[in-house]
Structure 1
Amino acid sequence: MLKRVVLFLATNMAVLALLSIVMSLFGINAQSMSGLLVMAALFGFGGSMISLLSSKWVAKRAAGLHVIEQPRSDVERWLVDTVARQAQAAGIGMPEVAIYDAPEINAFATGANRNNALVAVSTGLLRSMDHDEAEAVLAHEVSHVANGDMVTMALLQGVLNTFVIVLARLVGRVVDGFLSGDREGGGGLAYYAIVFVLEMVFGLFASMIAMWFSRHREFRADAGGAALAGRQKMVAALRRLSLNQGQNTLPKQVAAFGISGAIGHGLRRLLLSHPPLEERIQALEAGSVDGEAALRQGLLA
């Protein structure tokens, strides 16, 4: 996670340099509050929207997906038919269905909207799960699509990015002004160094918020999967996933999308994209999240 934050900040600095040139051409003053908000929104939402719009393209190439256009086997035909049935029940367009080569039990969904999505499963899942368990995993992924989780996550990330950029610069001006004795503050090398450090700190807290939402959406997708495939099938699928808990060979570009999450305790747990499988199973068995309601909310979104 620290490496991801550092990469985010390095990209931030590079893009800000480009944005400063563009904004100067259009006469936007980044030192003013309005200029700062414009700059922050351009960068904060620009990156997350580009990631969202390119998510399918990136996933296909990063994970080496085989998209099923014409089923070549009974397994591929079953996958396509099952996703088609679940998509119709969830009220979304037919997603692309794909398989990727990986030893662990895993699957993921991505896409810019509910009618232009992608659902992919690993070869390890096809080898290790029976039809009922695999059906539940597919239902979980279809529920992610129906709930609009990819779009919501991108919007949330855009808002968080914007706040990080704005707060880092506002606080940076105050700190730089206090240290330099200049009431205005900002503009010097010390200011940019302070902003860099503040972006790391605020970026870490922003990541915690984003990961909290990511964990919440997993509970909703489990409940939606139970509504589409059956509660016992969904519970059985999560129990099967516990056999390879912590294993995730997906490329970093799509690793957070996988149904099989990482393991963490203490403060590390705050940066996990998935809740522990034991908690997900308990939530399903207790019925603490209404799967039908989650799907209806997705349909109305």
Structure 2
Amino acid sequence: MFKRIALFLATNLAVMVLLGIVLSVLQNVFGVTLGNNGVLLVFAAVFGFGGSLFSLAISKWVAKRTTGMHVIDQPRNEHETWLYNTVRRQAEAAGIKMPEVGIYDAPEINAFATGPSRNNSLVAVSTGLLRAMNRDEAEAVLAHEVSHVANGDMVTMALIQGVLNTFVIFLARVVGRIIDSAISGNREGGGLAYYAIVFVLDIVFGLFASIIAMWFSRWREFRADAGGASLAGREKMIAALQRLASTYGQSTLPSQVRAFGISGSVGGGLKRLFMSHPPLAERIQALRDAPAQAATVRG
């Protein structure tokens, strides 16, 4: 948890410095004032959505580069043939274009899906998953990831993050200006005290935004589990999650795609607020409690 928060603080510091430089340049060149909330909101939206949408656009490229995965263009053996054909069958049943299929070298049981759209996506599995899971369990994991793609989770997450980023940037500066004005009498802000206040507010509001984003991330995992049960069968999905629970370890996925992996989370209290995945026991129970018709196999 502390590593995640430290990374978050460092990221917000970089955003604050960059935004401060840009606003200062615009103020000097075009006469843009920090007191103009309409202009500030526009620039907050440009920065807020720009970063998340750019990350979405390059997500497949980043995943391939950071994991060093092998993308299956032509299956080289029986295992790759099964993996490729299973994803193709599930994609057809889910009504999406065939994703790229990749295998990356990692010891843990994991898989993820990413990509800029439902019809331009990537589904990847770890070598650890292929070694540890039987085919019924692996089929359920693939169905879970295909469901993420079919649900449009990558795009939705990017849009939610863009909205949250926009309001963090905007509100931190509006509230910072109010606080700075109350303390110093400077209505326009822009002084050293103003930027110090904004930095603190970036962190505080950013933490609240992160809690909201992680809540959505946990909710979409339940939905992807239900989709996986629909595509592969409820008992297979439950068995896959039970296998994950029995071998849970720290994910080695890069941070850019970690929230899209299937591995569960552990912990409670404040740590739970920042978890991208619900505890595996809760996910298994949700599948057991689901109506029988929600777990029927398509196609």
TM-score range, shorter chain: over 0.9
Q: Which residue of 1 aligns with 2:62?
A: 58
The residue type equivalent to 2:157 in the other structure is M
Q: CA deviation at 1:185?
A: 4.7
Q: Which string of whole-angstrom CA distances, capped at 9 and with x for unpartnered residues, describes residues 14-72 of structure 1? A: 43145333676566544301111011000000000000001000000111111011100
Instruction: Determine the structure 2 residue equivalent to 1:267.
Output: 270
Identity of aligned residues (%): 66
Native 8 Å contact 2:34 2:189 kept in 1: no
- Aligned twin of 1:239: 242
Aligned residue runs from structure 1 range 85-234, under 5 A:
85-182=89-186, 184-234=187-237
* Alignment TM-score, normalising by the size of structure 2: 0.93
**What runs of 5+ residues in structure 2 fail to find an aligned partner?**
none
Q: Structure 1: which 5+ residue stretches go unaligned? A: 296-301
Post-superposition CA distance 1:155-174 (Å, at most 9, x none): 00000000101111111011
Query: Do the aligned partners of 2:244 and 2:264 also contact (CA within 8 Å) in 1?
Result: no
Matched, 1:72 2:81: no
Work out whether residues 215 and 275 of structure 1, in 8 Å CA contact, stay in contact via their aligned partners in 2. Answer: yes
Q: Which amino acid aligns with 2:144?
A: H
Q: Give distance in 1, aligned partners of 2:78 and 2:137.
A: 17
Q: Which amino acid aligns with 2:78?
A: D
1:253 aligns with 2:222: no
**In 1, Cα distance between the equivalents of 2:229 and 2:72?**
25
Q: Deviations over 1:222-260 (max 9, x none)?
A: 000000000000000000011222421112222222100
String of CA shifts for 1:137-183, please: whole Å, max 9, x gaps: 0000000000000000000000000010111111101111111133x
Contact persistence 1:247–1:262 (CA under 8 A): no
Query: Judging changes above 3 Å, is the alpha-carbon distance between structure 1 residues 200 and 236 closer, same or farther for their aligned structure 2 residues?
Result: same
What is the identity, as a one-letter code, of the residue corresponding to 2:97?
G
Query: What SS does structure 2 have at the residue aligned with 1:173?
Result: helix
| Equivalent position amino acid for 1:281 in 2 | I
- CA deviation profile, 1:88-134 (whole Å, cap 9, x unmatched): 00000100000000111000000000000000000000001011000
Which residue is 1:36 aligned to? Answer: 40
CA gap 1:17/1:283 in 2 versus in 1, 3 angstroms: same
CA RMSD of aligned residues (A): 2.0
Residues 288 and 44 from structure 1, CA distance in 2 versus in 1: closer, same or farther, beyond 3 angstroms?
A: farther
- Paired residues in the alignment total 293
Distance 1:34 1:133, change over 3 A: same
1:45 aligns with 2:49: yes
Q: Give, in whole Å, the separation in 1 of the partners of 2:39 and 2:184.
A: 24
Provide closer, same or farther for how the CA distance between residues 76 and 26 of structure 1 changes in structure 2, counting only shifts above 3 A: farther
Cα shift at 1:265: 1.1
Read off the aligned partner of 1:118 and give its amino acid letter.
L
CA 1:210–1:40: 2 relative to 1, 3 Å: same
- The one-character-per-residue Cα deviations of 1:210-229 (angstroms, maximum 9, x if unpaired) are 00000000000000000000
Q: Contact between 1:225 and 1:291, CA under 8 Å: does it hold in 2?
A: no
Separation (CA, whole Å) in 2 of partners of 1:33 and 1:290: 51
| Cα 1:289/1:186, change in 2 over 3 Å | farther
Q: TM-score, normalized by length of structure 1?
A: 0.92
Letter in 2 for 1:255: R
- Structure 2: distance between partners of 1:201 and 1:39: 20
